[in-house]
Structure 1
């Protein structure tokens, strides 16, 4: 059977291959410590669990509107107003089957074949696939460690071409755990708009921040509009711990909403209905209290890893202030290093080639979405491994 050109463009997610190897070692009885997958190690908050059970028991399992449950869209609108002091009408909020679907919709709605979209390097590896699915061409802009691996407008402007359609950013970013400053974000969105381009901002790690208050680009721009051609992506997976339920949302300009609705009707019918009802519980005070307690635990883990990894022989070139990742320099070729670290020290970290076209062989990512006990043991194993190589 002859495969499509697009199917051959899509690259494997190398972290998943490494995790499969780690799982095979665990099946042999070996105690692997996972510092690889970007998934909270906590269960869903108990109020969300109960809301999910109740939704199913109450037979709330039928299709919703393609743009999502009206009650949930209103709840997110209220959340933006109370948590970020910004007014986002519910009509501009679209519920999606995870942030990945939101990114796909945004790219399909905004990119024509042959147009280029600028992506920060390093960045989330699937973003280039979303661009390619729309027929676009991803163009990677190399960032610098002195800027915490976030792009400046000057760097983006140097790469802007007549065929450039827009920019896809993530703040906070995976794999670096760093954010754009408000001033840099404002300049980028403003200058891209002046060039009749779009900006897509991925904010799925928005509330998992440790050194400053959580922020949104919408605090700068207000709700997306003609003046601010912006799409904002978010998710219930990271801060709210609902990864497997695959639920996210996007904030879009009014003019874009009909196109997004048509895409949703054709590509997914609607998001997971019980998950949408469960997500309403995310904004209850008791759930938010649980999420804030977990954020403080993540901060303690971040602080421990930042202090301990350099003592174990790992060089860190930037300071992650959000998410649950540390982007670090591998002692030698990162793919070989991570493979040997897994096989000899039973610690699963991620080589940089998933995240970077420019420095994939030199950089690596650690996830600290694991217990402090396991993190302490992992760092000791890394220290011993590095001392012997």
Structure 2
């Protein structure tokens, strides 16, 4: 159709949503499906968060708020970032968005102009390149390796910079790899960004899902110079099991925060009012929920990694964060879409093809489901691997 804009025509549909929807359709027909494709916690939103939103509704808090969010929530986020992350933001530097996905897109729109290049380490979250394309930018995909835990090196960053490079996107803990950058690794990457004043988009949505001795570090906390170059993105979806609530936020130097707020004022306006009050309760009362969630997912992580490591013709790097394993399926001899289609239709196991994340010789397996589902799903996946 000629009336579709070229910017939309360049964008690929989300394969992660496609697989999830296909699995849901099979379940709706009464078929048994073992879902290892999910990108959201299987636990329900805690009752105290729900109650805060219910109270807000009952109190008539259903009108517009400032585009950047209610003052109380922006203040609470600023306090959280100072306490948990060691980053000092004024509440006026915080913009509350309709999910961290919108946070990322607003940040990209605020910085990237037509023809600007954005460095994106691969494997990457599926939407980063498409957001860059929608903004008129050029995604520069830099391949990382399993040998380096799927992490970008400063040398790779420097080699792929040009005079057009405007931004780099870092996701730690990472989707789909579960990789977590150390403070030293982030500092080394930051030094490269500082050399050419490249804006850093730091997506930290999985911040609270790190395991063992691994620690999360916010790159903006490492120096004043890095603070001035960084847009920190976070939200409530993963840590508080609030995926459908659509509450995320950006924290940035004031000029960038103002630009992001301006974009939001002319697109969605404020995030849903009563959902913001639920987010406020999450910050005030959610520490125990996060602790329990982390402990549960660590058990599942170890179970899944152990099972996958025992399969001879695949490879997997132990994830240190998030709730995914990226499985190297090169030796199976199938491209990822074909593999996932066979796995779903013949073995009733849903996984996400790695091509969605820029690596066609892999699949993503999620452990945000019960141990029973994981056990049966992985047994079926092992049968699949033996058959190939």
Q: TM-score range by the shorter chain?
A: over 0.9
**Who is 1:354 aligned against?**
356
Mapped contact 2:315–2:328 kept (Cα < 8 A):
yes
Tell me the distance in 1 between the aligned counterparts of 2:144 and 2:378: 28
Q: SS of the residue aligned with 2:298?
A: helix
Q: Does 1:280 align with 2:315?
A: no
Instruction: Check whether the contact 1:77–1:89 (CA below 8 A) recurs between aligned residues.
Output: yes
**Offset, 1:329:** 1.3
Instruction: Give the Cα separation in 2 of the matches to 1:214 and 1:283.
Output: 18
Supply the distance in 1 between the matched residues of 2:354 and 2:146 (Cα, whole angstroms). 14
Q: Aligned-pair distance for 1:188?
A: 1.6
* Runs of 4+ off more than 4 Å: 222-225
* 1:121 and 2:126 aligned: no
| SS class of match (2:266) | helix
Asked whether the equivalents of residues 166 and 197 of structure 1 are also in contact (C-alpha less than 8 Å), the reply is yes
Q: Please give the secondary structure, in 2, of the residue aligned with 1:284.
A: helix
CA distance in 2, matches of 1:279, 1:44: 11
Root-mean-square deviation (CA, aligned residues, Å) is: 1.6
Q: How does 1:1-389 map to 2 (within 5 A)?
A: 1=1, 2-211=3-212, 212-221=214-223, 228-285=228-285, 287-313=286-312, 315-330=314-329, 331-333=332-334, 334-356=336-358, 359-360=359-360, 362-389=361-388
Per-residue Cα deviation, 1:263-306 (whole angstroms, up to 9, x for no partner): 11101111111110111111234x21012101100000000001
How many residues were matched structurally? 383
Map Cα deviations across residues 30-83 of structure 1 (whole Å, 9 max, x no partner).
210111021110110111011111111111111111111110011111112222
- The 8 Å contact of residues 87 and 223 in structure 1, kept in 2 or not, is answered as no
Q: Aligned-pair distance for 1:262?
A: 1.2
Distance, in Å, in 1 between the alignment partners of 2:296 and 2:316 is 23
Cα deviations by residue, 1:136-163 (Å, 9 ceiling, x for unpaired): 1001011111111110111010011111
Residue by residue, what CA displacement relative to the aligned partner does 1:83-109 show, whole Å, maximum 9, x if unpaired?
234322212111111111111111111
Task: Confirm or deny: 8 A CA contact 1:313 1:383 kept in the other structure.
Answer: no
SS of 1:370's equivalent? coil
Structure 1 gaps of 5+ residues are: none
* 2:201 and 2:232 in contact (8 A); partners too: yes
- Secondary structure in 2 matching 1:101: helix
Q: 1:46 to 1:111 in 2, by over 3 A?
A: same
**Which has the larger displacement, 329-338 or 163-172?**
329-338
2:208, 2:290 within 8 Å by CA — same for their partners in 1? no
Gap regions ≥5 residues in structure 2 = none
Q: Is the 8 A contact 1:314 1:329 kept in 2?
A: no
